[in-house]
Chains A and B, each alone.
Chain A
Amino acid sequence: MALKLKVNGETRRVAAEPGTPLLWVIRDELDLTGTKFGCGVASCGACTVLVDGYATRSCQTYLEDVEGAEITTIEGVEGPVVAAVQEAWQELDVVQCGYCQSGQIMSAISLLNEVPKPTDADIDAGMSGNACRCATYQRIRAAIHHAAAKAEG
């Protein structure tokens, strides 16, 4: 079965079966490997992408449910908030193993789009679905505050 997906601004024809999680189409078929598999049950956030601008766990999102939606992966994000987030992550050297960080960054972008000046509580609420086994949380929190300040100019 062929479906059309709009990923990172491009319309892509994919051959996967209905019921296939978006994650595996993104990774195995479209070769956009910045989005990661961590649990498959929407519990760790490593697979987070933006669907119409909102952080979405792609491992629990069926292909047919996002036909026509704007899907954005770490490879396709852009704009002032994105730049602020990535710069903040780099300036504070948030990453360790880095495996969860695409998902963390996608969630942070989504959070800042909704709440431009988040409090610690906003960050905890917005980021609690993204696990990091390296426990880089303190730096994630600081980087989101830093990015918020940067994006504000």
Chain B
Amino acid sequence: MTFQASRRGFLAGTGAAALIVGFSPTGVLAAGQTHARFNPFVTIAPDGTVTVIVKHFEMGQGTTTGLTTLVAEELDADWETIKVAFAPSDNNRYANLAFGAQGTGGSTAIANSFQQYRKAGAAARELLVKAAAEAWGVVPGEIEVERGQLRTGDKSAHFGHFTEAAGKMAPSEEPALKDPSEFKLIGDGRLPRYDSVAKTTGKARFATDVKVPGMVTVVVLRMPRFGGTLTSFDASGAEGMPGYLGAKALPNGAGVAVFAKDTWSAIQARGAIVAEWDLSAAENRDSDEIMADHLALLEQPQHQARKDGDMAATDAAIAAAAKVVEVDYTFPFLAHAPMEPLTCVIEPTATGVKVHDGSQFPAMTHPTVAAILGLDPSQVEIETVYAGGSFGRRATPTSDYQAEAAMAFALLGGETPVKLVWTREDDLAGGYYRPMAAHRVRLGLDGEGKLVGWDHRIAAKSILKGTPFESMLVHNGIDDTSVEGVADTYYAIPALSVGLSDAESPVPVLWWRSVGHTHTAYVMETMIDQAAEAAGEDPVAFRLDLLAGDDPDRLRLSGVLRLAAEKAGWGSALPEGRGRGVAVHKSFNSYVAQVIEVALEEGSVRIERVTCAVDCGLPVNPDVIKAQMEGGIGYGLGAVMRNEITLTEGEVDQWNFPDYEPLRIADIGRIDVHIVPSREAPTGVGEPGVPPAGPALANAIRAAGGQRVTHLPMVKSGVEFA
């Protein structure tokens, strides 16, 4: 348990007790010397050490810094000595307030924690001040708090001196929070990341680094096509191989668990095992055939995703248009490919099991593991460790890899600790991709270049249908994640119809950093550019016209658009062969505009400069926001430039990084990020940097004299990158 550290601190202290502040299961602030009846959000040990209990996992997006900042700000704790412990898996107590269940996703970590973590910090401060005031015989208002020290007159002491007394007091229901003008840490762009030192010295602990006594390693020989089933296997080739311990069929028929004493032995042994599969229900098509089916689905949309959408009226409006532009777009499957391939460890405990995992969605993994092992959920613990990236991959509706680990653990009798390891090959062929998607847009402009109608059709496999998330995010048959970014566009587009068809395939699909916006923003923002071109208008001016008015979303979108354009020198002359492209998009309640400048030399594109403006409400950690924009831009660009997962007769063609080439250091020039000052509630930053990057690049390539890329990845459309 992550709490043992703080408990030990309590026991090994001066005999005084720790102060623990958190919330009751109903959300009421609570404090005490033990966390038996409520869940701690912050503990303060008798030596003064402040530990923040972080309910979200850290995949690089900066939650350990962000949530800690919120507590430290209100508590006036010392940033240099503050500690983080990841919360245990407990759905009631550590729920993401945006989901009502414990999990990280949708760029919600700061947004849902902002008030909660500040309140915990403020309550702890209030109690410490009260205890100090009593001890020193002054009123609380006479006590100042700074960097973990309480002070009045010539008296001064660190937090630890008052934890015991403070732990006996009850916090007020609504402790006073600071006015933003009083913030010292929130908004400080120089605040160092919490995890920087551990991650630059090799000390940060990821699931792949967990080793427990007696642990064996398991790799899985998986079905070669999605939807296949294991019929038999022959492990005789692995017998006698060094370190090989045995192989067993997974009970769900998805593969063979191969056990060995270490990772290399397991990988080697797996290579010597031969399996037979029943592929009758599997995806046996080529990806080109699957795409052809998507395109065919565009003819007759199954659903209308706009409340006011009317295809016939849109048709009529376009029929009367002076100019019509019609374009088809295709988007491939994409793998998330986090740097740390999927892995977790399960070990037996006195009462059940403990899972060591970079756990993105404990609310799913916890009951899944319990059910597989026939345990009561109370017998399962999840210890969250750093995750080596995720981009959504570690949160699946089936808890796929954690379930594999649990099955493998059970196959060994439930007493031997098991470490499940995926290789990069497993990762790329392992499914849960960004869905393949096809779009068809037909738009009409009148004689003055104004939009008169927009017929938008999308075909993609639903991410959510048939999963436990269906009831939350599927409405009237429409999976919001298939149409987000189009159906809810803020552009003033008359006669807009958004048709959706669900493609069917056994290939499992999943949210991939920014989910539906990965394809919808690309289409919207390149189509708007085409519309501007057809209208003979400047792309920024054309967008601003469609975003006119005082609707708050439009104001914030046009705000970031103007800022990015200004900072990028939009409209200033460029040398021959250079071009600028722009895109602006709202996702996860944040507003991002990007201008990309490219050079087109001898047929080859070079990304020279990216200028980004973001409005994410009150910026909590400005440098983390910048980092997330930089990373989101890189993640989005790398994918549109050259990434795709393709299938030949149902089998994944890509093998490893050489044919799923990640963005490299030389691929991209300077990125400048500008944050809009704001006191609005903070919103997401992990994903919103991604959606505008692809279309801004596409628009820049066009502006530089290149083609309009409508079939991704760009390299497949013949674009070459320097």
Contacts and interface: CB of A to CB of B under 8 A. Distances in A.
Interface of A: 16-17, 20-21, 24, 27-29, 31-41, 43-44, 46, 73-75, 86, 89-90, 93-102, 105, 123-125, 127-128, 130-141
Interface stretch (B1-9, B154-162, B337-345): B337-345
B195 A74 contact: no
B539 interface: no
A86 B338 CA distance: 23
Given A29-B262, A134-B60, A38 B424 contact: yes
Interface residues of B, number: 63
Interface stretch (B449-457, B522-530, B666-674): B666-674
A97 B385 CA distance: 11
A96 B61 contact: yes
B281 interface: no
Contact of A131 (B206, B217, B339): B339
A103 to B, nearest CB: 9
- Among B61, B200, B663, which residue has the most Cβ atoms of chain A within 10 A? B200
A39 B655 CA distance: 10
Nearest 8 A-B pairs (CB), nearest first?
A: A34-B202, A135-B634, A99-B388, A98-B199, A97-B60, A96-B60, A74-B202, A33-B209
A90 B630 CA distance: 17
A99 B427 CA distance: 16
Contacts of A40: 267, 423-425, 656
A90 B262 contact: no
Given A39-B656, A135-B631, A86 B201 contact: yes
A53 to B, nearest CB: 18
B64 to A, nearest CB: 11
Contacts of A16: 264
Nearest to B424: A39
Given A96-B62, A135-B631, A35 B262 contact: no
Contacts of A46: 339
Of A17, A37, A128, A139, most B-chain CB atoms within 10 Å: A37
Contact of A102 (B58, B202, B664): B202
B339 A75 contact: no
Contact of A90 (B62, B196, B631): B196
Contact of A124 (B62, B196, B666): B666
Given A41-B657, A44-B657, A73-B202, A97 B389 contact: yes
A21 B662 CA distance: 23
A133 B671 contact: no
A92 to B, nearest CB: 9
Contact of A99 (B263, B340, B391): B340
Interface in B353-392: 386-391
Contact of B263 (A27, A86, A124): A27
Contacts of B389: 96-97, 99, 133-134
Given A38-B341, A86-B201, A95 B60 contact: yes
Contacts of A123: 665
Contacts of A97: 58-60, 338-340, 386-390
20 contacts: A28-B262, A28-B263, A33-B208, A34-B202, A36-B340, A37-B263, A38-B424, A39-B657, A40-B656, A41-B656, A41-B658, A43-B656, A44-B339, A90-B196, A90-B200, A95-B60, A97-B338, A124-B666, A134-B389, A136-B627
B204 interface: yes
A95 B262 contact: no
B401 interface: no
A136 B631 contact: yes
B242 interface: yes
A110 B423 CA distance: 27
B679 interface: no
A33 B262 CA distance: 14
A141 B200 CA distance: 15
Contacts of A140: 665
B211 interface: yes
Contact of B196 (A93, A102, A135, A137): A93
Nearest to A90: B196
A113 B638 CA distance: 30
Nearest to B241: A17
B240 to A, nearest CB: 12
A38 B428 CA distance: 12
A43 B658 contact: yes
A16 B192 CA distance: 41
A42 to B, nearest CB: 10
Contact of A36 (B62, B208, B627): B208
Contacts of A24: 262-264
Contacts of A94: 196, 200
Contacts of A132: 339, 662
B307 interface: no
A135 B264 contact: no
B211 A99 contact: no
A37 B209 CA distance: 10
B198 interface: yes
Interface in B20-63: 58-62
Contacts of A34: 201-203
Contacts of B390: 97
A31 B423 CA distance: 19
Contacts of A74: 201-202
Given A43-B658, A86-B200, 14 more contacts: A24-B262, A44-B339, A44-B424, A90-B196, A93-B192, A94-B200, A97-B339, A99-B389, A128-B664, A131-B657, A134-B634, A137-B634, A137-B668, A138-B668
